[in-house]
Structure formats: C-alpha cells, structure tokens
Amino acid sequence: MLDRARLAALFPRGVRAHLDAMAGQGDDLLARHAITGPRLEFFLAQIGHESAGLTALEENLRYSAARLCAVWPSRFTGPEEAAPFAGQPERLANRVYGGRMGNGGETSGDGWAFRGRGYIQLTGRAAYRETGRRAGIDLEAAPDLAAAPDHALAVACGFWSWRGLNRFCDRDDLVALTRRINGGSHGLADRRAWLEKVRRVLGQDRRDWPAATVVALQRALQDAGFDECGAADGLIGPRTLAAVARLRRERGLPGAGVDDALLQTLGIDG
C-alpha cells in the first residue's frame, strides 16, 4: 500500500531515512490504527502539510521581532517587547508555550523540551504524554523520539488515534479535521492541495470502472449494510469510498479503494 516508490512520489524532498522507515513500517502501523482507504489519503495530506513534505520535522522558532508580533500578537504587543526573543528559539519556546498545553511555567523549560516535532508537529507535554501512550513510546522521557525515523510514523498514528481523527475522514470533512489538529483552519488551501496530490499518487479510486459495475457495487454495499455509500448513482465518490473502507476493515480485506479483490468479495463481475 505504501511502497517506497509512492512515498518518493508524494514526498520527493523527504528525508531518506524517514521514507525508508515509513515504507517498512507503514502498512502494519496504519492498519493497527485503522488508517486505510480514504482515511489514509487524509492522513498523508495532513502530515504532508504539517511537515512540509517530510522536510521540516522540528518547529522553526527563529523569528524576527516583526514576525513575532504577527504570529503571537497577544504575547508581543510591539517590536521592543519582541526583540529579546528574536532569533532565540529556546527562549521563545519557553515564553510562548510555558504554562499551557500541560507544560510547566516559563522557567521549567517545558516549552522548549516539548516544542513542535514530527510529522504532525506534536506540541506540549500533554500531547507528548497522551500520544506516547497510544504509540507505546515514553515521549515525556524522550521527546526527541517524536521526530526520529524509527518512531515518527508511530507517533503520528498515535496522535491520530488520540484525537479521534478517522471520523472526520469518514465524513470527508477536511475543515473539521484541520480544526481538530491545529485548532483553526490554518493552511487549509495547502492541505487541500496535498489531499489532491495524495489522491493522484495513490490512485486508489482512479480506475475507470464502468458505471454498471459501480452501480452493482453500490447496491451490493447497501445490501450488506454499508448504506453510507448513498444512492447507487454509478459514481465513486467520498461516500462510496467510506463504505468500501469500512467493508475492507471489517472483513480484513487487504489493499484500499475499489479493486478486483473487492468486487470478487461482493460477487461482482468487473
């Protein structure tokens, strides 16, 4: 499903060690967290945006004074107040992240220790703790592992499960998914562009199935209780893909999207 060639096409500038690790671990980890079918498309799109195509695995906190005032206007009301933190990433992290997100106060050093890392830019002690529990990694004790090649995908999957993100994928709701990840709609256009790219590269639902075959598939899904597919209209859209993804999960059918194996399972002649 996530072979090295597809990953290289998705993330051509990605760090090689991360691409290799993802290719080796991907299928098992993603299946464990039920990130398959259309859910996988959303997952890859989000990590593509958050990590700039697997090239930015740690938050860049080197800001000018003017930029600090724009990014954190409630923290820095003017250049003079921001100047001591310009070009000082550790000091800045402790100021803007201290005393929130489960971190201790500014002098605790938690802001810097638990700054944004990994494919999903995990931030704050609480997020490291909860994500680590689901990933089976003690990230509170070793936060750098969030961006390590051998652990970064497990961390991203753990975060995905902790935040309950699959349900937004099943509804094809990119806006709600983005808000759940970062608290707003920052970078929505870029996230949408990533989603379109992922769908092109994976090509999970891009085979030109005859309309009669798609109608038969949709009716078979309805008869089997996967009625989220909606009307039997002969078009493979998000609702049909959501039904297909659930069927594949529940029946343990490998792969993703609509393929010959799926049609054979439902007794349909492709």
If you write DSSP's letter for every residue of 62-111 in order, what string do you get? ---HHHHHHH-TTT-SSHHHHGGGTT-HHHHHHHHHTTSTT---GGGSHH
Calpha distance 259→270 (Å, rounded): 9
The DSSP letter of residue 268 is -
Per-residue pLDDT of the chain (270 residues; tens, 9 = 90+): 678 888 999 999 999 999 999 999 998 999 999 998 889 999 999 999 999 999 999 999 999 999 999 999 999 999 999 999 999 999 999 999 999 999 999 999 999 999 999 999 999 999 999 999 999 999 999 999 999 999 999 999 999 999 999 999 988 899 999 999 988 888 999 999 999 899 888 865 456 788 899 999 999 999 999 988 889 998 887 678 788 888 988 888 876 678 888 999 999 986
Amino acid code (one letter) for 59: E
Q: Domain residues of the chain, as ranges?
A: 4-56+144-202, 65-113, 211-265
Calpha distance 130→159 (Å, rounded): 8
Query: Which pLDDT belongs to residue 245?
Result: 80
Q: Report the helix count and the strand count for the chain, using DSSP H and E.
A: 15, 0
Q: Which residues pair with 117 in a beta bridge?
A: 58, 122
CA pseudo-torsion sign 172, 176, 180, 181: positive
Q: Which residues pair with 122 in a beta bridge?
A: 117
Nearest to 127 by CA among 153, 151, 160, 96: 160
Calpha distance 204→221 (Å, rounded): 18
| Neighbour count for residue 74 (Cβ, 10 Å) | 6
Query: Which pLDDT belongs to residue 222?
Result: 94
Q: Please, are residues 35 and 43 in contact by the beta-carbon 8 Å criterion?
A: yes
Q: Please, are residues 157 and 35 in contact by the beta-carbon 8 Å criterion?
A: yes
Q: Please, are residues 92 and 116 in contact by the beta-carbon 8 Å criterion?
A: no
Amino acid code (one letter) for 131: T
Angle among Cα 76, 79, 80 to the nearest 5 degrees reads: 95
Query: Which pLDDT belongs to residue 205?
Result: 46
Contacts 24+ apart (CB under 8 A), 171-174: 171/242, 172/38, 172/238, 172/239, 172/242, 174/42
Hey, what are 78's tokens? 């003017």
Amino acid code (one letter) for 112: W
Calpha distance 59→125 (Å, rounded): 15
Calpha distance 192→190 (Å, rounded): 5
pTM for the model stands at 0.76
Buried residues in 201-214 as b, exposed as e (16+ CB within 10 A): bbebbeeebeeebb
